[in-house]
């Protein structure tokens, strides 16, 4: 299936009628569509699926239609959503088209007027055209829906394909791809014919043969019941494997970051302690400044009074010749120290003398002050020492905090959003253990069911042999028995054919996968498509042996893309080598690849190799991605293979000046356009010539 | 780089399949072989069709061939 053209009208975000003409097979076989988040990249992928299969992942079917188109439609008016895909396959050109017409009702709701049936027009090489009678059946033959995920995919679904739980999908996909359908239907049809013959045998059996037939009927019912339970149990096991796989992947990712998380937890505690110490030091510093800080500003205030007193001593003004208290005592007693009374005249003289004793008071004060000043001087020295030490400690604490914060920042950048938290990891481990136990129980049940079924089948065969002996000699009974035996034997042979053929295809696909990996990834890894249909990637261990590893997202995506590349290469090979005969109905052919953000999680290594490798393998590629995902390595790898370029130009409510342009194909193109008067987002597809 | 296996191309696979088919068919009786071939033929003809279009002709074929 090679795409020619896509025409979209009012499909979800995409407003109006828009077209994409795809780059054809050849040297420039790549079509690139750029679109920012919300511009409708996934919508574009959905448009293919809706057109071909009528499937779209929407809860509300009214969401199918562009809001902007509905806004433009008056109440009572009609609006149409349609997608047309023109493609080449099996030597013809096909126009597949699906459309739905809706009427806008009062209140804003929509009434669906048509159901959106697929129409398929086939154009032959001679220019004649015809409408397909069973368009859905024909599309299913050209590209079965079960295979569509291999050719129209979102990048984020790729990792899923490389996970263990995807084997059912891989099995179904590869078997559909190689037309096991014919074989599987043959097995089923032989079973139905055998049942019909069995019913005829029972209707004519008599006596013991009739009893045996009834017992056989019961056993068959039991076997049917066991098989139904087996099918259910097998899907349970597959689901548990898938869930376990997801948990393992999460755990592997968490294992990788565990040492970092432990470091982070330790550093966070350290940072907390350091911050607490810094706060304590700052408190101490504040208390010190609050109690003794004034001493730092006292300057010579403490020294000056002592200096003045010293000058007074040097001048002989100090010490004072007499103490005022001595004079006061004499005056209080009214007598001299010799006992003679002090008369008024002497008292007056003493009072005059007393007025001259101030310096003695000063001297006392100075002695007191000197002691105080000395104490304060000591205290100031201690304060200065303590202040220096506290400031140093505080500064060291701040440096420690900065260092720890830097370490934490480094760990955060290494974690890159993988910060699960140790608690979450422990919870995850518990979940993995529980899931593993559930899986063991489910597998035990499966084995028991298998054993019970095998036992009943054996018994059924014994009863059938016994009945053969009891059946009459009539030609009719003999013929029926012979018919049933032939049908059962043919069914066994087809089952054997299926198993052998499946094993052969698996081995061949394994080889193709290895070749494709070497061609597009060019990285020393052992990739395998295993007999139980898993995609596995191994790397060399320390002793040189290949060991299975928990692959990174980039490795998983590269592995899935290699597998799809292998399928596409195989389809081409089959088409180039047609064959006639039984079970060779798969014609093969050329297949395109439509990818939404395929290289998003890849590192530089893969971004430079995978696109280049794919383009050499796949006849036509359509890459839908954002400018961020495109520019750089991917653009460099594919630039000379790009044949067509388009932009999903997003219009969204905004102010003037909020427009955004990007460089694409050497031109500046509108990427986001701010609409002042719009209440909704919408996109148009613009070709970049 | 990765291992390679023992298939050169799709033709080698086809040859293996042909041999495999031959072997399976050689172990069947004439009646069984005819039923085996017929069911695959009918399904290849009507690969996009549903079961009743194969089951009835197959039943008739078996009834006709084995009397």
Report the share of chain A in percent with pLDDT over 70.
90
Least confident segment among A130-144, A175-189, A254-268, A541-555: A541-555
Least confident segment among A50-54, A637-641, B10-14, B54-58: B10-14
Can you read off the two tokens belonging to residue A172?
A: 């179904």
Q: Is the pLDDT of residue A603 over 90?
A: no
Q: Is the pLDDT of residue A52 over 90?
A: yes
Q: Once rounded to an integer, what is the mean pLDDT over residues A104-133?
A: 89
Closest residue in chain A to residue B30, using alpha carbons only: A486
Closest residue in chain B to residue A588, using alpha carbons only: B10
Closest residue in chain B to residue A499, using alpha carbons only: B20
Which of A90, A193, A577, A585 is best to mutate for the B interface (most B CBs within 10 A)?
Answer: A193
Tens-digit pLDDT profile for residues A53-95: 998 876 666 678 998 899 889 999 999 999 999 999 888 999 9
Band of residue A585 on the pLDDT scale cut at 50, 70, 90: very low
Q: Is the pLDDT of residue B3 over 50?
A: no
Least confident segment among A145-149, A417-421, A499-503: A417-421
Tens-digit pLDDT profile for residues A657-689: 788 999 998 899 999 998 877 678 899 999 998
Instruction: Tell me how far apart the alpha carbons of residues A491 and A494 are, in angstroms, rounded to a whole number.
Output: 5
Can you read off the two tokens belonging to residue A148?
A: 């569509």
**Residue A50, CA distances (Å) to A37, A98, A141, A156, A625 in order:** 21, 8, 17, 20, 20
* Burial class of residue A494 in the structure, from the number of CB atoms within 10 Å of its CB (0-12 exposed, 13-18 middle, 19+ buried): buried
The reported pLDDT for the residue numbered A553 is: 73
Tens-digit pLDDT profile for residues A351-374: 777 666 556 666 677 778 778 888
CA angle, A220 then A222 then A223, to 5°? 65
Query: In this complex, do A501 and B37 lie within 8 Å of one another by their Cβ atoms?
Result: no
CB atoms within 10 A of CB A165: 17
From first CA to last CA, the distance across chain A in angstroms is 25
Closest residue in chain B to residue A192, using alpha carbons only: B55
Least confident segment among A152-161, A480-489, A493-502: A152-161
Query: In this complex, do A501 and B20 lie within 8 Å of one another by their Cβ atoms?
Result: yes
Tens-digit pLDDT profile for residues A318-364: 666 666 677 778 888 888 878 888 888 888 877 777 666 556 666 67
Q: Is the pLDDT of residue B51 over 80?
A: no
Q: Contact at 8 Å (CB) between A645 and A32? A: yes
Q: Which residues contact A400 (CB under 8 A, 6 or more apart)?
A: A274
Report the share of chain A in percent with pLDDT over 90.
29
pTM for the whole thing?
0.65
Band of residue A586 on the pLDDT scale cut at 50, 70, 90: low
The reported pLDDT for the residue numbered A265 is: 82
Instruction: Kindly provide the ipTM of the predicted complex, given to two decimals.
Output: 0.91
Tens-digit pLDDT profile for residues B4-29: 445 677 788 888 888 888 999 999 99
Q: Could you give the angle at which helices A180-204 and A167-177 cross, rounded to 10 degrees? A: 90
CB atoms within 10 A of CB A599: 28
* Dihedral, A456, A460, A463, A464 alpha carbons, nearest 10: -170
Query: In this complex, do A507 and B5 lie within 8 Å of one another by their Cβ atoms?
Result: yes
Which of B4, B10, B58 is best to mutate for the A interface (most A CBs within 10 A)?
Answer: B10
Tens-digit pLDDT profile for residues A249-303: 667 666 667 777 778 888 888 888 988 888 898 888 888 888 888 877 776 777 7
Instruction: Tell me how far apart the alpha carbons of residues A353 and A361 are, in angstroms, rounded to a whole number.
Output: 14
**Residue A307, CA distances (Å) to A299, A303, A311, A381, A482 in order:** 14, 6, 6, 19, 138
Q: Contact at 8 Å (CB) between A562 and A529? A: no
The reported pLDDT for the residue numbered B2 is: 38
CA angle, A39 then A657 then A72, to 5°? 50
Which of B40, B57, B61 is best to mutate for the A interface (most A CBs within 10 A)?
Answer: B40
Furthest C-alpha separation in chain A: 177
Q: Contact at 8 Å (CB) between A165 and A243? A: yes
Q: Once rounded to an integer, what is the mean pLDDT over residues A618-634?
A: 92
The reported pLDDT for the residue numbered A278 is: 87
Instruction: Tell me how far apart the alpha carbons of residues A686 and B60 are, in angstroms, rounded to a whole number.
Output: 60
**Mean pLDDT rounded to a whole number for chain A:** 84
Q: Once rounded to an integer, what is the mean pLDDT over residues A118-129?
A: 90
């Amino acid at each position: 299936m090679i795409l020619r053209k896509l025409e979209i009208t009012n499909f979800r975000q995409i407003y109006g009628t828009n077209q994409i003409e795809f780059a054809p097979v050849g040297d420039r076989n790549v079509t690139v569509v750029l679109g920012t988040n919300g511009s409708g990249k996934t919508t574009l992928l959905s448009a293919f699926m809706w057109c071909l299969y009528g499937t779209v992942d929407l809860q509300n079917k009214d969401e199918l239609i562009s809001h902007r188109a509905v806004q433009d439609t008056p109440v009572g008016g009609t609006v149409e959503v349609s997608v047309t895909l023109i493609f080449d396959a099996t030597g013809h050109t096909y126009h597949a088209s699906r459309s739905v017409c809706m009427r806008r009702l009062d209140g804003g709701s929509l009434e669906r007027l048509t159901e959106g049936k697929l129409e398929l027009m086939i154009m032959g090489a001679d220019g004649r055209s015809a409408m397909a009678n069973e368009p859905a059946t024909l599309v299913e033959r050209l590209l079965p829906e079960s295979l569509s995920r291999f050719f129209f995919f979102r990048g984020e679904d790729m990792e899923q394909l490389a996970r263990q739980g995807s084997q059912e999908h891989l099995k179904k996909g590869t078997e559909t791809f190689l037309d096991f359908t014919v074989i599987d239907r043959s097995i089923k049809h032989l079973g139905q014919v055998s049942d019909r013959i069995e019913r005829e045998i029972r209707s004519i059996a008599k006596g013991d043969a009739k009893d045996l037939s009834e017992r056989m009927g019961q056993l068959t019912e039991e076997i049917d019941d066991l098989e139904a339970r087996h099918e259910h149990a097998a899907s349970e096991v597959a689901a548990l494997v898938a869930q376990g796989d997801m948990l393992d992947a999460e755990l592997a990712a968490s294992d990788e970051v565990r040492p970092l998380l432990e470091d982070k937890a330790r550093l966070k505690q350290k940072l907390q302690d350091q911050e607490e110490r810094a706060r304590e030091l700052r408190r101490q510093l504040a208390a010190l400044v609050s109690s003794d800080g004034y001493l730092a500003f006292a300057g010579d205030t403490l020294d000056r009074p002592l200096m003045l007193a010293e000058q007074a001593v040097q001048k002989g003004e100090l010490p004072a010749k007499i103490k005022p208290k001595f004079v006061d005592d004499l005056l209080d007693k009214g007598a001299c120290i010799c006992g003679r009374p002090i008369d008024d005249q002497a008292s007056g003289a003493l009072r005059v003398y007393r007025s001259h004793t101030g310096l003695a008071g000063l001297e006392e004060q100075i002695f007191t002050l000197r002691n105080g000043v000395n104490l304060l001087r000591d205290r100031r020295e201690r304060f200065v020492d303590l202040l220096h030490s506290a400031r140093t400690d505080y500064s060291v604490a701040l440096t420690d905090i900065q260092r720890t914060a830097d370490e934490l920042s480094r760990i955060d950048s290494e974690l890159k959003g993988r910060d699960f938290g140790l608690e979450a990891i422990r919870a995850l481990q518990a979940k993995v253990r529980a899931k593993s136990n559930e899986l063991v129980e489910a597998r035990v049940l499966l084995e028991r069911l298998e054993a019970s079924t095998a036992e009943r089948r054996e018994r059924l065969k014994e009863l059938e042999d016994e009945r053969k002996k009891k059946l009459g000699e009539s030609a009719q009974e003999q013929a029926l028995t012979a018919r049933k035996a032939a049908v059962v034997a043919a069914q066994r042979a087809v089952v054997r054919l299926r198993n052998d053929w499946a094993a052969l295809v698996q081995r061949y696909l394994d080889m193709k996968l290895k070749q494709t990996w070497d061609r597009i990834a060019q990285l020393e890894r052992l990739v395998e498509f295993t007999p139980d249909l898993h995609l596995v990637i191994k790397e060399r261990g320390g002793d040189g042996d290949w060991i299975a590893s928990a692959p990174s997202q980039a490795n998983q995506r590269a592995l899935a893309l290699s597998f799809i590349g292998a399928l596409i290469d195989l389809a081409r090979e089959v088409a180039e080598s047609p064959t006639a005969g039984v079970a060779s109905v798969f014609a093969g052919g050329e297949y395109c690849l439509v990818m939404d953000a395929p290289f998003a999680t890849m590192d530089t290594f893969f971004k430079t190799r995978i696109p280049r490798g794919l383009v050499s393998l796949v006849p036509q590629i359509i890459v839908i991605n954002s400018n961020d995902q495109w520019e750089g390595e991917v653009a460099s790898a594919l630039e000379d293979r790009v044949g067509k370029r388009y932009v999903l130009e997003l219009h969204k409510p905004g102010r003037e000046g909020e427009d955004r342009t990007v460089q694409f194909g050497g031109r500046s193109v509108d990427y986001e356009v701010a609409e002042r008067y719009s209440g909704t987002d919408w996109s148009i597809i613009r070709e970049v010539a | 780089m990765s291992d390679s296996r023992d298939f050169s191309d799709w033709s080698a696979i086809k040859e293996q399949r042909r041999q495999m088919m031959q072997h399976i068919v050689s172990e069947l009786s004439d009646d069984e072989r005819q039923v085996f071939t017929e069911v695959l033929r009918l399904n290849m003809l009507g690969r996009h069709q549903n079961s009743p279009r194969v089951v009835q002709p197959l039943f008739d074929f078996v009834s006709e061939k084995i009397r």
